[in-house]
Amino acid sequence: MNYNNSHALFERARRSIPGGVNSPVRAFKSVGIDPLFLTHSEGAYVWDADGNRFIDYVGSWGPLILGHSHPKVIEAIIKQASIATSFGAPTELEIELAELVISIMPSIEMLRMVSSGTEATMSAIRLARGYTGREKIIKFEGCYHGHGDSFLIKAGSGALTLGSPNSPGVTVGTAKDTLNARYNDLVSVENLISANRGEIAAIIVEPIAGNVGVVPPKPGFLQGLRQICDREKIVLIFDEVMTGFRVALGGAQELYGVRPDLTTLGKIIGGGLPVGAFGGKREIMEMLSPIGPVYQAGTLSGNPLAMAAGLATLRTLRDENPYAELERKSAYLENCIAENIRSANIKATQTRVGSMLCLFFTDQEVTDYESAITSDTKAFAKYFRAMLEDGIYLAPSQFEAMFVSAAHSDEDLERTVKANRKSLTEVTGLHQ
């Protein structure tokens, strides 16, 4: 394939934008090539600036579970844009989206909208601290909760892909209030709690870790966190920015039957426009300004265009219930890729929950950060480039999920399996 126009755009972008991108993983650094500049999309496909078409498994990093440019979402955005784009005043759309989310997730009694997942998690932590009067939080190694200072300690996603576990610019004071436990390891949580008794405001967890590849929770892990939080009066926060409306309509909390105190949302809730939200128990949420003392605000929070896109997406998910189909298609991909791994005789393993998949280039079982980073990232880079050449657009990192959308057809999946077979064979020479 020819990527000349993308290359020229990247050269130009690097002069005015740091690294040429507005979010680091987009730069393709870890896969050793220049990023593609995309121009348009439809359903399961995206096109780049050179006119190449790809089957897309990034889906804007999760939001586009219905596929690109879904007619109902586009119609809702156009209709709203012709009426008004922003007021900074309350609108009925915000109530409609809040009521819809509350009807979908029983743990959420009240909800506040923000404009990104990062804002949702930052605000949820502040709220938990204000509510408990405690300062420390526990997170898990490899979990990513956006780029707020408190979370950039052994974080996943770009921080892991680009090898910066702890970012300069985060003060020692902030870092000391973030304690890191090991994912899927309740003993590591108990140890931190014994050493900091009465000081932990919140435990924040991705109920399915999706930013270190895909790491499902072991049976009992989330239930164990719930019990610990009840016993120690700690606020349990499920960061469902990725998993909410993705692994089930009601997210991972529906799938595993565990109720957090607070939930953070993003990605799908905005249907491709910038939306985040955090919500949960009324008693905690009523600590928020203007009825409570914990301050939180946003000029574009609850933006009408974003609300319209989110409402159209969530209503379509509720009414069309694509989850059984997503499961069927994703299981098909997983099974075919497993067969390709066997026939290529390659050291690789897969994880999957619903339409979140990951192919790790390691022969170890992946259950946490330590096991995820045994992956051969050079092999991944080669695999990524081979898939791209075959018209398959994956997230450019070993430590990101592959998302199946409602728009992927059986034919798209077959083409993907074929490309996977060929690409794995190309990797074999390097990695055995």
Ligand X SMILES: *Cc1c(COP(=O)(O)O)cnc(C)c1O
Q: Which residues are catalytic?
A: 144, 239, 267
| Residues between 271 and 310 that touch ligand X (CB under 6 A) | 276
Structure tokens at 175: 């870092």
127: amino acid identity, one letter:
L
Residue 397 sits in the site that holds ligand X (CB under 6 A): no
| Residue among 20, 35, 146, 251 that touches ligand X (CB under 6 A) | 146
Alpha carbons 271 and 68: distance in angstroms, whole number: 10
> Which of the residues 11 through 70 are near ligand X (CB under 6 A)?
none
The one among 34, 94, 185, 206 contacting ligand X by CB under 6 A: 206
Please report whether residue 263 would count as binding ligand X according to CB under 6 A: no
- Strand ranges across the sheet with 276-280: 110-114, 276-280, 262-265, 235-239, 200-205, 136-140, 178-181
Amino acid at 382: K
- State which residue, 73 or 273, has the beta carbon closest to ligand X: 273
d(CA 79, CA 83): 7
| Binds ligand X by CB under 6 A, chosen from 116, 123, 150, 188 | 116
Q: Which of 20, 35, 59, 210 binds ligand X (CB under 6 A)?
A: 210
**Rounded-to-integer distance, Cα 351 and Cα 401, Å:** 10
Binding mask 233-252 for ligand X (x = CB under 6 A): ------x-xx----------
Q: Which is nearer to ligand X, 117 or 354 (CB)?
A: 117
Longest dimension (CA), the chain: 63
Residue 402 sits in the site that holds ligand X (CB under 6 A) = no
Mark the segment that binds ligand X (CB under 6 A) among 38-46, 205-213, 218-226, 388-396. 205-213
Nearest approach in angstroms of CB 145 to ligand X is 5
Pick from 280, 282, 273, 217: which is nearest to 243 by CA? 217
List alpha helices for 239-303, DSSP H.
251-256, 282-285
* Interaction of residue 118 with ligand X, rule CB under 6 A: yes
**CB 310 → ligand X: shortest distance, Å?**
13
Q: From residue 417, give the alpha-carbon distance in Å to each of 228, 337, 391.
A: 43, 6, 12
**Cα dist from 11 to 2, 15, 39, 174, whole Å:** 16, 7, 17, 37
Q: Which is nearer to ligand X, 116 or 340 (CB)?
A: 116
Nearer to ligand X, 211 or 420 (CB): 211
Does residue 121 touch ligand X according to CB under 6 A?
yes
HSE-CB at 141 with a 13 A cutoff on CA atoms is 16
DSSP of 393-419? E--SSTTS-EE--TT--HHHHHHHHHH
The footprint of ligand X on this chain (CB under 6 A) covers a number of residues equal to: 15
117 binds ligand X (CB under 6 A): yes
* 363, 340 contact by CB (below 8 A): no
Cα–Cα dist 349/362, whole Å: 6
Q: How far is the CB of 276 from ligand X (least distance, A)?
A: 6
Of 188, 211, 263, 330, which one interacts with ligand X (CB under 6 A)? Answer: 211
The nearest distance, CB 365 to ligand X, in angstroms, is 22
Contact map string, positions 314 to 353, toward ligand X, x by CB under 6 A: ----------------------------------------
Which single residue brings its beta carbon nearest to ligand X?
117
Q: How many CB atoms lie within 10 A of CB 91?
A: 16
Q: Are 380 and 213 in contact (CB under 8 A)?
A: no
**Where along the sequence are the contacts to ligand X (CB under 6 A)?**
116-118, 121, 144-146, 206, 210-211, 239, 241-242, 266, 276
